[in-house]
Amino acid sequence: IVLTEDASLPKAVRTTTGDKNIKLGEGDVKGARVKICGRIHRLRQQKQATFITLIDGYGHLQCVLTGDLTKTYDALTFAQGTSIALFGEMRKLPDGATAPDGRELQVDYYKVIGSAPSGDDAITNKVSSEKNMWDAQMLDNRHLVLRGDNASSVMKVRSAVEWAFAKAYKDLKFTKVSPPALVQTQVEGGSTLFELPYYDEKAYLTQSSQLYLETAIQSLGNVYCIEKSFRAEKSLTRRHLAEYAHVEAELDFIEFDDLLDHIELMIGTVIETILADPEIAGYIKELNPDFKAPAHPFKRMRYSDAIDWLNAQDPPILNEEGNPHVFGDDIAEAAERRMTDIINLPILLTHFPTAIKAFYMKRDPNDPRVTESVDVLMPGVGEIVGGSMRMEGYEELMAAYEREGIPPKEYYWYTDQRKYGTSPHGGYGLGLERFLAWVCNQHSVRTCCLYPRFMGRCKP
Ligand code: 4AD
């Protein structure tokens, strides 16, 4: 059977599955005749009719083929993934039937654009919703996994979150800058640096754009960037990536409390923005039905109180050596997560000891054992933000380099900020994938990336 388009029908208007304004036919009333290009997502072949769920990146559409349309060679070899142009009338669903947006396309003509295999090579055989994403086959086939509803919904939310950050910063009059990825300085310790040859020199992939942001506030005012950061993490945890999207901002002429207020405001504003978009709110509802915007103000807790809290649990939550926590311990991922899950509220954890924090952090003037630093902890994920006030004084910074074994020569451009009109300033970095893991209820940050990078995985 060879199909031809019926020339007596109205000319089809090209549209997408996301267009909710198409006139629907009902009873004798004709709906609009449209042309929609997409791919077969689900296929149900019955005696009288073939039902296709079409995806095109904008939604799902139920399409019905009947009569000769179901009998062509193409129709008999339809498979998940087949790309196709469908022509037909959009109609309201009959009572009792359900399909996305309460409508279906009654197809009168189609053209297969790119066929997809069935059998061993079928998409359904390569990736399966039964398998979890740690499975090597699922990771190797990430390009096909991305066609699934879960993966694509997370990517839609990701896009909306990035845009919401950009909008919130713009509304606050922050300037966006784009610091380099190839650098010759470290920010967050030498152990997670990716080193690479750079002509005749050595360079690193940046761990954070912070130091560069600190050099931009003098002329641009408050600044932000959304760039990739790189960490050669040698552990395979569910919240560590080798390459991640880092939302970073730096604020000039502020005090520590201003920084905390700003971070809380940003998280609240971004959540509000994405939930106000019905399409995005829909994805979040599917992925994380119980998600609610967090209540303000967030709980604020000092590091030393967290140590007491961990020890006051029955039984106490122990440190990595299996002992009760003492002041100076790094609160490890497991303990931090348990605390956050038990408290079950966003927490701004502040005033970490100097010894366990980065060289650039400003000390608390009231207690020099600790820094003006903050981590934001979210139930289900743990830390999603790290930030601090920065050292202002030249001498103090030189001493910090010394303490950390950092060669001041490479950091002259960073040091110069203290020499030419220093100021009280601070900022933070938010891991976009961790934020998404929280909003989308993902077990791991890996499913929050288009193509995750972590130890042992650099493809596809
Ligand atoms: O706490 P971190 O290391 O802080 C900084 O890099 C600061 N220089 C940022 C700044 O002040 N501008 O990292 C900040 C956030 C973490 O809270 C976490 O959300 C994320 O970056 N992050 C990672 N996300 C995924 N994989 C990793 N390996 C990450 N390391 C940090």
- Residue 253: what pLDDT? 98
Q: Of the residues 373, 383, 447, 454, which should be mutated to test ligand 1's pocket, given the most ligand atoms within 8 Å of the CB?
A: 383
CA of 383 to the centre of ligand 1 (A): 9
- Residue 206: what pLDDT? 98
- Residue 133: what pLDDT? 72
**Is the pLDDT confidence value at 128 over 90?**
no
- pLDDT tens-digit profile of 300-310? 999 999 999 99
- pLDDT tens-digit profile of 226-272? 999 999 999 889 999 999 999 999 999 999 999 999 999 999 999 99
3-state secondary structure of 297: coil
**Is the pLDDT confidence value at 86 over 80?**
yes
- Residue 55: what pLDDT? 98
Whole-Å CA distances, 53 to 45, 372, 451: 12, 54, 26
Q: How confident is the model at residue 291 (pLDDT cuts 50, 70, 90)?
A: very high
**Is the pLDDT confidence value at 129 over 80?**
no
Residues in the chain: 460
- The residue ranking higher by pLDDT, 130 or 99, is 99
Long-range interactions of 391-400: CB distance < 8 A, separation 24+: 391/360, 391/361, 391/362, 391/363, 391/418, 392/362, 392/418, 392/422, 392/423, 392/424, 392/425, 393/418, 393/422, 394/418, 394/419, 394/422, 397/360, 400/359, 400/360
- Residue 190: what pLDDT? 86
- Residue 255: what pLDDT? 98
**Is the pLDDT confidence value at 81 over 90?**
yes
In 3D, which of 98, 106, 97 has the Cα closest to residue 36? 106
Average of per-residue pLDDT across 449-458? 96
Q: Of the residues 177, 194, 208, which should be mutated to test ligand 1's pocket, given the most ligand atoms within 8 Å of the CB?
A: 208
- Residue 18: what pLDDT? 95
- Residue 131: what pLDDT? 76
Task: Supply the ipTM of this predicted assembly.
Answer: 0.99
- Residue 189: what pLDDT? 87
Instruction: Report H helices in 129-222.
Output: 136-140, 142-145, 149-171, 210-214, 217-220
Backbone angles phi, psi at 180, to 5 degrees: -70, 155
Say yes or no: CB of residue 101 within 6 Å of ligand 1.
no
**Is the pLDDT confidence value at 187 over 80?**
yes
Say yes or no: CB of residue 386 within 6 Å of ligand 1.
yes
For atom 16 of ligand 1, which residue has the closest CA?
385
Say yes or no: CB of residue 248 within 6 Å of ligand 1.
yes
Average of per-residue pLDDT across 20-49? 96
**Is the pLDDT confidence value at 74 over 90?**
yes
- Residue 76: what pLDDT? 93
CA of 426 to the centre of ligand 1 (A): 15
Say yes or no: CB of residue 231 within 6 Å of ligand 1.
yes
Contact 208, 250 (CB under 8 A): no
Q: How confident is the model at residue 149 (pLDDT cuts 50, 70, 90)?
A: very high
What average pLDDT does the structure give for the chain? 95
Q: How confident is the model at residue 42 (pLDDT cuts 50, 70, 90)?
A: very high
**Domains, the chain, with CATH or none:** 13-121 (2.40.50.140), 143-448 (3.30.930.10)
- Residue 153: what pLDDT? 98
Q: How confident is the model at residue 130 (pLDDT cuts 50, 70, 90)?
A: confident
Average of per-residue pLDDT across 271-275? 98
Average of per-residue pLDDT across 48-53? 96
- pLDDT tens-digit profile of 391-428? 999 999 999 999 999 999 999 999 999 999 999 999 99
Share of the chain above pLDDT 70, in %: 100
CA of 205 to the centre of ligand 1 (A): 14
Say yes or no: CB of residue 192 within 6 Å of ligand 1.
no
Q: Of the residues 222, 229, 356, 390, which should be mutated to test ligand 1's pocket, given the most ligand atoms within 8 Å of the CB?
A: 229
Say yes or no: CB of residue 429 within 6 Å of ligand 1.
yes
- pLDDT tens-digit profile of 310-348? 999 999 999 999 999 999 999 998 999 999 999 999 999
63: amino acid identity, one letter: C
Q: Of the residues 434, 439, 449, 457, which should be mutated to test ligand 1's pocket, given the most ligand atoms within 8 Å of the CB?
A: 434
